[in-house]
Amino acid sequence: MALVPRRSLTSLGARTLDLVDAVTDLVRVAAGTVSGAVFTYWRGTRPKGEIARQMHAIGNRSLLFVMVTLGFVGMVMVYQTCLLTTQVVDGRGQVGAQFARLLVLDVGPSLTAMMLATRVGAGIAAEIGSMKVTEQIDALRMSAVTPVDYLIVPRFFACVLMTVVLSIFGMAASWAAGGLTGYYSFQINPRTFFDLSMVAPAHVVLGMTKAVAYGAAIPIVAGWCGLRARGSSEGVGAATTAAVIGSSFAVIVLDFIISAIGLIFWGAGL
């Protein structure tokens, strides 16, 4: 009887220690990435053309994925909003303008980042995780290369840039698909629909800030998960899973924080 609470206390203690250890690791990777990006990366022996290669891997190879998913989401959003607005009074004229505002302010960058968290986050963790379990990371350290500088920093640059770019492409796809849905299902004139009058500079600033923040968070979280991989194929699988869930969650939390800050700053004007 007396053993039970002691054992659960021990396991609680062990889990707390694990958590502390994990968080310390995350902070270390994040700090290493940022300081690497600002200071050491450009001075050190950086792998040539790596940023371009990562931009291709993260950007080009996600373009279709992002545009297809955002396109579908755009159609659904317009469809549902039209259903809602036609229930009470005919507010179809406002749908396009409001949709554009929401797209720029939140849905475009956030949903693009959710998609990138699954595709890019999983990819980065899988790649770095496999290197970890096959002892390639240790080999890097033996040749006096910092793994964070070598592996995460180029992905960091590429991902920040590409999240912004893909967000814009995603928004465009979503906007176009939404416009088509409005026209074909609810007879909204494209001229009425494609209306940017509700989009203020503040919306663009906030939306792009989100894109940059997501783009920074995904490689850091995914790289952190990859570097913590242990064991063999199970370890890589677990790291990849953790990266997907971790970076998706990071996107949701950052979205909330930045949106709240925006609301405090601009208030009703937003």
| Footprint of other proteins (CB under 8 A) | 64-65, 68-70, 72-73, 75-77, 79-80, 83-84, 102, 105-106, 114-115, 117-119, 122-123, 125-127, 129-130, 133-134, 232-241, 244-245, 248-249, 252-253, 255-256, 259-260, 263, 266-270
| Residue pointed to by tokens 């995914």 | 222
* Min separation Cβ 146 and other proteins, Å: 22
Contact by Cβ (8 Å): 221, 26? yes
Which helix (H) or strand (E) element contains residue 104? none
Residue 8 vs 80, nearer CB to other proteins? 80
* Min separation Cβ 45 and other proteins, Å: 26
- Give the C-alpha separation, 71 to 65, whole Å: 10
* Min separation Cβ 27 and other proteins, Å: 20
Length of the chain: 270
Which helix (H) or strand (E) element contains residue 249? helix 233-266
Residue 113 vs 160, nearer CB to other proteins? 113
Closest CA to 223 of 14, 54, 45, 48: 54
Contact by Cβ (8 Å): 270, 105? yes
Residue 34 vs 140, nearer CB to other proteins? 140
Residue 145 vs 245, nearer CB to other proteins? 245
* Min separation Cβ 33 and other proteins, Å: 21
* Min separation Cβ 82 and other proteins, Å: 10
Amino acid, single-letter form, for residue 209: T
Residue 29 vs 103, nearer CB to other proteins? 103
Closest CA to 258 of 52, 105, 119: 105
Residue 30 vs 122, nearer CB to other proteins? 122
The number of C-alpha atoms within 13 Å of 212 and in the hemisphere containing its C-beta is: 7
Helix (H/G/I), strand (E/B), else coil: 187: coil
Structural tokens at position 112: 């693009």
* Min separation Cβ 69 and other proteins, Å: 4
